[in-house]
């Protein structure tokens, strides 16, 4: 699945989650800007701005966002959204702590994340 294959509500969830994580620490890093720009490019700048404005108006708290997230049932959409959001979190300057909402989302959506195997040295 690609970003363009997401429904409007799924795209809204993606943009709302991205905005939540990017704005959480009050700093926007170069890595975060790169990730956001790539997603905005895939959505189209106008649609990205529309989704961001709707997310700002619609989700006044994390509970409102969780309500939307629980309605997303399609496994491919869940995995795509989670993966993109995880990439955003990991591009932060010190991604030592996974935000609580990401842990909740992983459990709610039953996402299985496999740890990367360390490469063997020869």
Which CATH number goes with the domain that contains 100? 1.10.3680
Model-level pTM?
Answer: 0.85
For the stretch 41-88, pLDDT in tens is 999 999 999 999 999 999 988 899 999 999 999 999 999 999 999 888
Return the closest-CA partner of residue 111 out of 100, 102, 99.
Answer: 102
Residue 43 has a CB neighbour count (10 Å cut-off) of 19
Enclosing domain of residue 54:
3-108
C-alpha pair distances (Å), 31 with each of 38, 89, 104, 111: 11, 10, 24, 24
In this prediction, residues 90-98 reach a mean pLDDT of 61
Give CA torsion, residues 32, 33, 38, 40, to 10 deg.
110
For the stretch 25-46, pLDDT in tens is 677 778 788 888 999 999 999 9
The tally of domains found in the chain comes to 1
Would residue 118 count as lying in a domain? no
Residue 95 has a CB neighbour count (10 Å cut-off) of 13
């Amino acid at each position: 699945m690609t970003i363009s294959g997401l429904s409007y509500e799924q795209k809204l969830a993606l943009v709302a989650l991205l905005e939540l994580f990017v704005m959480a620490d009050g700093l926007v890093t170069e890595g975060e800007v790169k990730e956001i720009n790539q997603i905005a490019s895939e959505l189209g700048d106008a649609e990205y701005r529309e989704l961001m404005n709707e997310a700002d108006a619609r989700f006044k708290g994390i509970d409102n966002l969780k309500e939307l997230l629980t309605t997303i049932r399609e496994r491919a959409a869940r995995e795509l959204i989670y993966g993109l959001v995880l990439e955003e979190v990991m591009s932060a300057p010190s991604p030592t702590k996974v935000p609580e909402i990401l842990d909740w989302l992983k459990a709610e959506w039953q996402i299985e994340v496999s740890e990367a195997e360390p490469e063997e040295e020869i």
